[in-house]
Amino acid sequence: MGTEASDGGKLKRVLNLRDLLVFAIMTMVPIAPMGVYGIVASVSHGYVPLTYIVAAAAMFFTAWSYGQFAFRIPEAGSAYAYVRETLGPHAGFITGWVILLDYILIPSLVILVAALWLQAVSGVPMFVWALAFIAFATVANILGVEMTMKASMALFIFEAGVLAAFVAAAVLKIITDPNLHFSLAPFYNPATFSVGYVVAGASIAVLSFLGFDIMTTLAEETKEARRVVSKAVVLVVPIITSFFVVQTYLAAVVHPSYTFKDTDVAFYYIAREVGGRWLQLLTMAGTVLAAGIGDTLAAQAGISRVLFSMGRQGQLPRIFSKLHPRFRTPYVSTLVVAAITAPIVYVLTLRDLSSIVNFGALTAFLLMQFSLAYRFVRVEGRPLLAFLPAIGFAITGAVWYGLDSSAKELGFIWIALGVAYLAYMTRGFKTEAKLSIPEV
């Protein structure tokens, strides 16, 4: 297990099962498909609800693996800590380095979704909105995880209302419009179906499920962490999948085409088709608040705690493990995340960010699932249990294979940089993966 931060502090245990479920659902966002619907639809050729089911299958086995590890290693470092404690510090570092690519870019991704929607409706440049979201999330996360949870709960209630309004309006639209009818075409159409389309779409759709792994970074702030985190991480996947499939199916029925005027904000226009201007504005508000505030708060909280854990282990400069003397939050890591987020929002597109984030997440999931299988076989002597993470590894690997080639190229460059950095820290892999930097 990790040692404590140099200022002698521990993270404050205040969270329960309900808090973690709300945190994870808000991180994934109940209406998350609205923000990336156009991209998933164009890549999957309209099979959006099916792609979410495939992505959910991969995430269920991954979530189960996370739950097993959370019970055994209730630490803030998530997959980084799990692999480190199973395969050693070198493998743990590479896993942490890979998942940094996911976690560091998620705040930029969700902020960009919200900022693009606001730019479309207001004309105010996207970057102005992005800076406002970054500032709000940074202050809230430094003040403490309790504030983050209170904001998440309020937003969760609002998001549920937006989803209910869209579902009701869409059903009414379909049953009253003679040109529309319920159909299985969004799941399967023999004239156009292709496994390749679905896998490629799932490689983007998996983005909407990434909140459950960020949840595990709060283990050291959760009461009865072993039991609560391992339970919450499994429960959240089927709950959120039902939300995703219902809304994407109804959207596909109302708008069966997978071409749009603006792919980045496609659902903004689908909402108008469904219910008119009022629903368009409501879904815009829901997406903006969920991504720009709720998701940004949760994503920034997650990555700051991974940096905290790696700093505490000496695999990043010790200053990353410094806690605020009053609020007991990793404020240095939080400020660093804010400083990284702003330029990324400005230089990368929504599609680029989606693919690169998923490369980091899926690669870390593969390493974590391999580690759990290894742990069952070599450490615990229960080889039959290795069958479940092996299934998760296979499904996740198939989704990983469908990633955009440019995302893979950038991802492997990132891994190469991590290996080089690890070689420097360990003097050619001869010592433990720690920086020789004095504690702050």
Q: Is residue 22 scored above 70 in pLDDT? A: yes
Query: Which DSSP symbol is given to 354?
Result: H
**431 Cβ neighbours under 8 A, 6+ residues apart:** 425
Name which of 48, 401, 408 is nearest 196 in CA terms: 401
pTM for the whole structure: 0.75
Q: Confidence class of residue 26 from pLDDT cuts 50, 70 and 90? A: confident
- Indicate the range of 31-45, 187-201, 230-244, 370-384 predicted with least confidence: 230-244
pLDDT tens digits for range 261-305:
888 889 989 999 999 999 999 998 988 888 888 778 777 887 787
**Which of 201-205, 207-211, 218-222 holds the top average pLDDT?**
201-205
- Indicate the range of 188-192, 201-205, 206-210, 263-267 predicted with least confidence: 206-210
What is residue 440's predicted lDDT score, i.e. its pLDDT? Answer: 29
Of residues 379 and 80, the one with the higher pLDDT is 379
Q: Is residue 206 scored above 50 in pLDDT? A: yes
212-227 b/e (C-beta count within 10 Å ≥ 16 → b):
bbbbbbbbbbbeebee
What is residue 429's predicted lDDT score, i.e. its pLDDT? Answer: 81
**58 Cβ neighbours under 8 A, 6+ residues apart:** 202, 206, 365, 392, 395, 396, 398, 399
Segment 147-161 shows an average pLDDT of 77
pLDDT tens digits for range 155-187:
878 888 999 999 999 999 999 999 999 999 999
Q: Is residue 148 scored above 70 in pLDDT? A: no
pLDDT tens digits for range 66-75:
888 878 887 6
Q: Confidence class of residue 1 from pLDDT cuts 50, 70 and 90? A: very low
Of residues 254 and 290, the one with the higher pLDDT is 254
Segment 63-85 shows an average pLDDT of 80
CA 200 to chain centre: 18
Q: Is residue 14 scored above 80 in pLDDT? A: no
Q: How big is the chain by its Cα radius of gyration, in Å?
A: 21
User: What is the C-alpha to C-alpha distance for residues 89 and 83, in angstroms, rounded to an integer?
Assistant: 8
Contact 85, 92 (CB under 8 A): yes
Provide the mean pLDDT of the chain: 85
Q: Is residue 54 scored above 90 in pLDDT? A: yes
Q: Is residue 408 scored above 70 in pLDDT? A: yes
Structure tokens at 31: 């209406």
Q: Name all domains of the chain by residue range, CATH numbers in brackets.
A: 17-425 (1.20.1740.10)
Within 123-144, residue ranges assigned H as helices are 126-143
What is residue 33's predicted lDDT score, i.e. its pLDDT? Answer: 92
The share of the chain scoring above pLDDT 90, in percent, equals 36
What is residue 276's predicted lDDT score, i.e. its pLDDT? Answer: 93
Of residues 56 and 144, the one with the higher pLDDT is 56
Q: Confidence class of residue 439 from pLDDT cuts 50, 70 and 90? A: very low
DSSP string, 18-73: HHHHHHHHHHH-TTHHHHHHHHHHHHHTT-HHHHHHHHHHHHHHHHHHHHHHHHH-
User: What is the C-alpha to C-alpha distance for residues 401 and 408, in angstroms, rounded to an integer?
Assistant: 9
What is residue 327's predicted lDDT score, i.e. its pLDDT? Answer: 82
**181 Cβ neighbours under 8 A, 6+ residues apart:** 174, 253
User: What is the C-alpha to C-alpha distance for residues 214 and 170, in angstroms, rounded to an integer?
Assistant: 32
Of residues 151 and 360, the one with the higher pLDDT is 360
Q: Confidence class of residue 227 from pLDDT cuts 50, 70 and 90? A: confident
Name which of 252, 242, 275 is nearest 42 in CA terms: 252
**Which of 84-93, 245-254, 431-440 holds the top average pLDDT?**
245-254
Dihedral sign of CA atoms 71, 77, 78, 84 in order: negative
The share of the chain scoring above pLDDT 70, in percent, equals 90
* Cα separation values, 135 from 90, 164, 173, 238, Å: 35, 31, 40, 33
Segment 221-228 shows an average pLDDT of 77
Q: Is residue 331 scored above 50 in pLDDT? A: yes
Within 209-349, residue ranges assigned H as helices are 211-215, 225-254, 266-275, 277-288, 296-312, 331-347
Of residues 13 and 209, the one with the higher pLDDT is 209
Structure tokens at 170: 């869409």
